[in-house]
Amino acid sequence: MYPFQYTKAKEASEATATASRQENSKFLAGGTNLVDLIRRDVVHPDYLIDVSHLDFKTIKAYNGGLRLGAMASNSETAANKELKEAYPIVSQAILLGASAQLRNKASNGGNMLQKTRCPYFMSPPFPCNKREPGSGCSAINGENRLLSILGTSEKCIASYPSDMATALTAMDAVIQTRLSDGSERSIPVVDFHLLPEDTPWKETVLKEGELITAIDLPEESKEFAENSYYLKIRDRHSFAFALVSVAAALVMESGKITKARLVLGSVAPKPWRNREAEEMLLGQAPSENLFMEVAEKALEGAKGFGENDFKIPLAKKGIVRALRIASKSEA
Ligand SMILES: Cc1cc2nc3c(=O)[nH]c(=O)nc-3n(C[C@H](O)[C@H](O)[C@H](O)COP(=O)(O)OP(=O)(O)OC[C@H]3O[C@@H](n4cnc5c(N)ncnc54)[C@H](O)[C@@H]3O)c2cc1C
Ligand code: SF4
């Protein structure tokens, strides 16, 4: 293990100033991902800035919606009464992730920035463009069962595993941040993560030293509460990352779908929203045929790399099932 310095920031301004001043620094929240990566020699920060105790822990009503503090734990967030009532899909998704012990430590901000579970990224002797730019991608012709079928590049096919971010994308959630010059930014979750293209090591739009302070759920998304469902398909029923997940959220009026959100998780380097597939649902009554056509559209252009070919038919079946449950149809 490489030596590093540790500091506990007293305020957000101190955290962002230190991060922009100190080269190769990282914020530390629950540490459930970062400490693991340090122990495995995957990342070697020279400076850890502990932000876990900063005053962004509350979950409160905001602008008619709900503001989730970045340092609130995943457990506390999932158990929040207002979240469960107004945005149940987010609570469902969080509770299907990790284990109770991990969710007690994991923060909402850290969850957005968790790293891929690509086995080669996690194993330093292997070439990996994300960990070591230019070294190559071991996964394209290797062990890629968990990896992406959409949004990949010749440089990287890693998948992004956050259940919470997949559900937040379906709810049009917005990430709030603070920069070192004191300014603030609002970034929709759907625009937060980048595709690998030629630079797989650039994973989000965050700037140097930019701190996530909150995640906002908009008032308008409350109307999905009645007809939403988070489906997680995995090897084990608990304590396993998704092979495929589907966040399906609908608004139904007089038996017809009037609004739709469809987001896939663990099949792409970011939560994968398909607007064309969503539009196919509008004005329609739920039916098995419709859901199958939507699933075909959502997987258009999907490409497997051998071990993960099975994800394409699995995702299609998952979409049909999630839409069937969300629409409460007997289709
Ligand atoms: C065994 C295991 C199983 C898991 N299973 C699942 C699963 O099934 N589904 C799932 O979705 N997740 C799963 N997880 C991931 C878990 O949810 C994440 O590890 C956790 O959410 C990360 O939060 P943290 O606070 O511990 O982040 P940390 O580990 O502290 O930090 C993670 C990253 O975020 C950065 N960071 C943290 N806070 C901020 C902030 N406020 N602003 C800017 N940057 C910040 C850190 O610098 C670091 O790069 C699993 C984890 C483990 C270890
Ligand atoms: S898929 Fe991405 S993370 Fe995995 S080995 Fe290839 S470059 Fe690295």
Strand order in the sheet with 65-69: 59-62, 65-69, 211-217, 174-178, 184-188
For the chain, how many structural domains are there in total?
2
User: Cα–Cα–Cα angle for 317, 320, 322, nearest 5°?
Assistant: 105
**pLDDT higher than 90, residue 32:** yes
Is any ligand 2 atom within 6 A of the Cβ of residue 157?
Answer: yes
Q: Kindly report the CATH number assigned to the domain that includes residue 300.
A: 3.30.390.50
Residue closest to 250 by CA, chosen among 216, 223, 277, 212? 223
Choose the residue to mutate in 6, 14, 27, 206 for probing ligand 1, maximizing ligand atoms within 8 Å of C-beta: 27
Q: Which ligand is nearest to the CA of 123?
A: 2
Choose the residue to mutate in 114, 126, 137 for probing ligand 2, maximizing ligand atoms within 8 Å of C-beta: 137
Residue closest to 95 by CA, chosen among 73, 121, 66, 126? 73
pLDDT tens, residue by residue, 198-249:
999 999 999 999 999 999 999 999 999 999 999 999 999 888 999 999 999 9
**162 CA to centre of ligand 2 in angstroms:** 17
Domain membership of residue 296 (yes or no) is yes
Domain membership of residue 42 (yes or no) is yes
Q: What is the pLDDT of residue 238?
A: 85
Q: What is the pLDDT of residue 2?
A: 82
Q: Which two tokens stand for residue 204?
A: 């989000």
pLDDT tens, residue by residue, 254-311:
999 999 999 999 999 999 999 999 999 999 999 999 999 999 999 999 999 999 999 9
Choose the residue to mutate in 130, 195, 303 for probing ligand 2, maximizing ligand atoms within 8 Å of C-beta: 130
Domain membership of residue 14 (yes or no) is yes
Is any ligand 2 atom within 6 A of the Cβ of residue 128?
Answer: yes
Mean pLDDT of all residues in 42-65: 97
**pLDDT higher than 70, residue 77:** yes
Q: What is the mean pLDDT of the chain?
A: 97
**39 CA to centre of ligand 2 in angstroms:** 19
Q: Whose CA is nearest to atom 28 of ligand 1?
A: 31
Q: Which residues line ligand 1 (CB under 6 A)?
A: 26-34, 36, 51, 70, 74, 97-98, 102, 105-107, 109-111, 113-114, 161-164, 211-212, 241
Single-letter code of the amino acid located at 134: G
Mean pLDDT of all residues in 3-24: 95
**pLDDT higher than 60, residue 331:** no
pLDDT tens, residue by residue, 120-143:
999 999 999 999 999 999 999 999
Q: Which ligand is nearest to the CA of 212?
A: 1
Domain membership of residue 318 (yes or no) is yes
Per the structure, the complete domain to which residue 246 belongs is given by 222-326
Domain membership of residue 103 (yes or no) is no
Domain-ending residue, one of 15, 30, 50: 50
Domain-ending residue, one of 50, 71, 86: 50
Q: Kindly report the CATH number assigned to the domain that includes residue 34.
A: 3.30.43.10
Assign 216 to helix, strand or coil: strand
93 vs 224: CA distance, rounded Å: 15
Q: Which band of pLDDT confidence, cut at 50, 70 and 90, is reported for residue 329?
A: confident
- The dihedrals phi and psi of 299, each to the nearest 5 degrees, come to -100, 10
Domain membership of residue 174 (yes or no) is no
Domain membership of residue 265 (yes or no) is yes
Q: What is the pLDDT of residue 330?
A: 57
Residue closest to 117 by CA, chosen among 202, 242, 273? 242
